[in-house]
Amino acid sequence: MRLDDIPRRTRPAPRAGFLRRVLRWQLALLIVSGLALIWVLVGLELRHLDAIAERESKRDVHNLSHAFAEEVNATVSTIDLSLIGLRSHWERNRAEFPTLVSTLQRLLEDKVIFQVAVTDASGVMVFSSADAQARGLDLSDREHIRIHLDRHVDALHVSKPVLGRVSKKWSIQFTRPVYTLDGKFDGVIVASVAPAYFSRFFSHIDLGDGAALGLVRSDGTILARSPNQDEGRGIGVVLHGQPFDQTDAEPDGLYRRLSQVDGVERFFAWRTLPRYGLVVLIGQASKDAYARFAEQRMVYLEAGIGLSVVFVLLAVVLVGGARQRRRTLRALTEAEARWKFALEGSGEGVWDWDLVKQRAQLSKRAAALLQVDAETIPCNQETLDQMVHPDDVALVNKAMQSHFDEATPSYVAEHRVRARDGGWAWILSRGMVVKRALDGTPLRVVGTFSDIHDRKAREEYTRYLAQHDVLTGLPNRSLFTDRLQQALLRAQRDGGSLAVIYFDLDRFKPVNDSYGHETGDKLLAAVAARVRACLRESDTVARMGGDEFAILLPNVTAEADAARV
């Protein structure tokens, strides 16, 4: 009975209509439940990604804060020791003091760049390494001078950032009191350092565009900060309510809040330097922290949307899927039949690969090309690694995977296979998937092997002739010129040098005229062999034409080395 012969009802039976409505409601309930489950899972995964991002961000800023603290501690310690040494020389030999300051600045320029000033006991400047005309300037109103005038304690003081009255530039003042040899207070010695010097660590970290770094006094005053797009932005600002300024604060820690300087929310890590009353801060913008998983978030969202669409279209897919499957199987069967017919008449080696069983059936010609005795062999990655040249394995895998992914209509690859004598033979391997699973996974591939060893040998010999002299076996002018250009580029890039020797054979023409060209050719070959034996593996000797030769000596530093050749 044909489908056309089945009687059609004009109205569905009541029972059938009821069942159809029940099925529709059940399908709708399934879709709604599925969508709810999908988006609950998506939401949980997104929260999990956020938690991972926050944890990794805190770990990064915590580790970087330790590194920054070590750098700041070393720098401040260097400044302090320099001040102690300089004040000792100030009291003993003021005439040589400027020279000593200049020498110390040169010695420490890789570690810290600073200017030195000295005031007398009343706060009037008596020495400045930055400006000799500044002598007599009254600095007694400055905080970093006043603290030593009011309190004679021999300790390093780190000032609040100071804005120069003339230069309009910020600086941090590191000061110690100066005493006479009998212990009487005699003034203040000052090392002035630009805030940007402490924030240079910022250029060595990569925490995103919203990252920030700061050096803060224990009272919350910002001494240095990066990024510093506007000159001095944030310097001198006093931070309030920070975890590190609490009386029972830990020496280091983590917190999250909006920046008081630019309003950006960040994950911050702090570490205190109690010896100097300083705190270092490293912060990563929360948006940058979460951005590291932006692609994964998008994948989850796209997956949620995709699965939602799948559930909505589930009914249509279920109905159309079976129909499409029948059409696909019919098309694959027809394609397989066409392939078999074409391959059987090709005269080439034919192979049939069952990917499920990981075995391949070979025709006699295919077995001969692979130089194996069996017509059924294992076919997996281990077999491929054993039979295919190591340099060609990646190429074969890539070509096969591209076809499996349906990026190419067929699989085609030229590669070498191991021969019985241990050598390698070139073959052309072609194939096509003739059977796939419902999800598109390839199950069976049919293809051919062609012997292209002679063609490859001819191509290789042709390339050799294009670049070598047949008589001597040396590189010709073309290959020599190419190697010379490459050597020049390497020497220019690495700052090296090379040598080129150009020579010909004296009285070669009389040899040809007297003994014949055959003798002349033997002489040229002997010269080529002797010169080649005198050179390194990296050197090149070439026959430029006639009796003219050229030698390329890379990595030669002296003319005498080339002359030895």
Contact 405, 398 (CB under 8 A): no
CA distance 514 to 491: 45
306's CB contacts (< 8 A; 6+ apart) are none
Instruction: State the total domains in the chain.
Output: 3
Contact 228, 125 (CB under 8 A): no
Asked if residue 404 and residue 521 are part of one domain, the reply reads no
Summarize pLDDT for 356-383 with one digit per residue, the tens.
Answer: 999 998 888 888 888 888 888 898 888 8
Instruction: Give the residue, 460 or 12, on which the prediction is more confident.
Output: 460
Q: Is residue 314 part of a domain?
A: no
Give me the helix-helix angle, 294-312 and 314-344, nearest 10°: 100
Q: Return mean pLDDT, the chain.
A: 81
* Model confidence at 542: pLDDT above 90: no
Summarize pLDDT for 315-355 with one digit per residue, the tens.
Answer: 566 545 545 666 677 777 667 556 555 655 555 788 899 99
Asked if residue 117 and residue 176 are part of one domain, the reply reads yes
* Model confidence at 442: pLDDT above 90: yes
Summarize pLDDT for 242-270 with one digit per residue, the tens.
Answer: 888 777 778 889 988 888 888 888 899 99
Give me the helix-helix angle, 14-92 and 294-312, nearest 10°: 180
Asked if residue 105 and residue 206 are part of one domain, the reply reads yes
Which amino acid, 171?
A: S
Asked if residue 504 and residue 375 are part of one domain, the reply reads no
CA 125 to chain centre: 53
Asked if residue 208 and residue 139 are part of one domain, the reply reads yes
Convert 386-398 to b/e letters by CB count within 10 Å (16 or more is b). ebbeeebeeebee
The domain that holds 277 is classified in CATH as 3.30.450.20
Structure tokens at 306: 């995709």
Question: Given the structure tokens 């590194």, which residue do they identify?
Answer: 67
Structure tokens at 399: 């070509």
* Model confidence at 148: pLDDT above 80: yes
Beta-strand ranges (E) seen in 34-130 are 115-119, 125-128
Would you state the pLDDT for residue 21? Answer: 61
Contact 268, 254 (CB under 8 A): yes
Bridge partners, residue 483, by sequence: none
313's CB contacts (< 8 A; 6+ apart) are none
Banded pLDDT at 402 (limits 50, 70, 90): very high
Summarize pLDDT for 176-235 with one digit per residue, the tens.
Answer: 999 988 888 889 999 988 887 887 777 777 788 888 888 999 888 888 888 764 566 788
Would you state the pLDDT for residue 13? Answer: 41
Asked if residue 492 and residue 429 are part of one domain, the reply reads no
Q: Which ranges constitute the DSSP H helices of 227-380?
A: 286-291, 294-312, 314-344, 364-370
Contact 271, 250 (CB under 8 A): no
Q: Is residue 320 part of a domain?
A: no
Q: Over range 138-154, report the average pLDDT.
A: 85
* DSSP-based helix, strand, coil % in the chain, nearest 5: 50, 25, 30
Asked if residue 452 and residue 345 are part of one domain, the reply reads yes
Which DSSP category does 121 fall into? T
Summarize pLDDT for 263-315 with one digit per residue, the tens.
Answer: 888 899 999 999 998 999 999 888 888 887 778 888 888 888 888 787 777 75
Instruction: Give the residue, 388 or 34, on which the prediction is more confident.
Output: 388
Structure tokens at 428: 């052309």
Would you state the pLDDT for residue 230? Answer: 52
Cα–Cα distances in angstroms (integers) from residue 506 to residues 471, 511, 512, 544, in the given order: 19, 10, 12, 16
Banded pLDDT at 118 (limits 50, 70, 90): very high
Question: Given the structure tokens 């890539």, which residue do they identify?
Answer: 398
Q: Over range 440-448, report the average pLDDT.
A: 91
φ and ψ at 154, to 5 degrees?
Answer: -80, 85
Asked if residue 488 and residue 439 are part of one domain, the reply reads no
How many residues in the chain? 565
Asked if residue 335 and residue 286 are part of one domain, the reply reads no
Banded pLDDT at 18 (limits 50, 70, 90): low
Q: Is residue 511 part of a domain?
A: yes
Lowest-confidence region among 18-22, 293-297, 402-406: 18-22
Q: Over range 508-518, report the average pLDDT.
A: 75
* Model confidence at 15: pLDDT above 80: no
Asked if residue 266 and residue 216 are part of one domain, the reply reads yes
Which domain-ending residue is among 257, 274, 307? Answer: 307
Asked if residue 439 and residue 537 are part of one domain, the reply reads no
Structure tokens at 109: 């320029």
Would you state the pLDDT for residue 354? Answer: 92
Q: Over range 418-424, report the average pLDDT.
A: 85
Asked if residue 229 and residue 89 are part of one domain, the reply reads yes
Q: Residue 509 belongs to what domain range? A: 468-564
Q: Is residue 20 part of a domain?
A: no
The domain that holds 542 is classified in CATH as 3.30.70.270
Q: Over range 417-431, report the average pLDDT.
A: 87
Would you state the pLDDT for residue 5? Answer: 31
Summarize pLDDT for 450-499 with one digit per residue, the tens.
Answer: 888 878 878 777 787 777 887 887 888 888 888 889 888 888 888 888 88
Q: Is residue 40 part of a domain?
A: yes
CA distance 109 to 106: 5
Convert 284-321 to b/e letters by CB count within 10 Å (16 or more is b). bbbebbbebbeeebeebeeebeebbeebeeeeeeeeee
* Model confidence at 23: pLDDT above 50: yes
Which DSSP category does 54 fall into? H
* Model confidence at 1: pLDDT above 60: no
Would you state the pLDDT for residue 538? Answer: 81
Structure tokens at 171: 């600086």
Which amino acid, 509?
A: K
* Model confidence at 562: pLDDT above 70: no
Contact 278, 252 (CB under 8 A): no
Banded pLDDT at 513 (limits 50, 70, 90): low
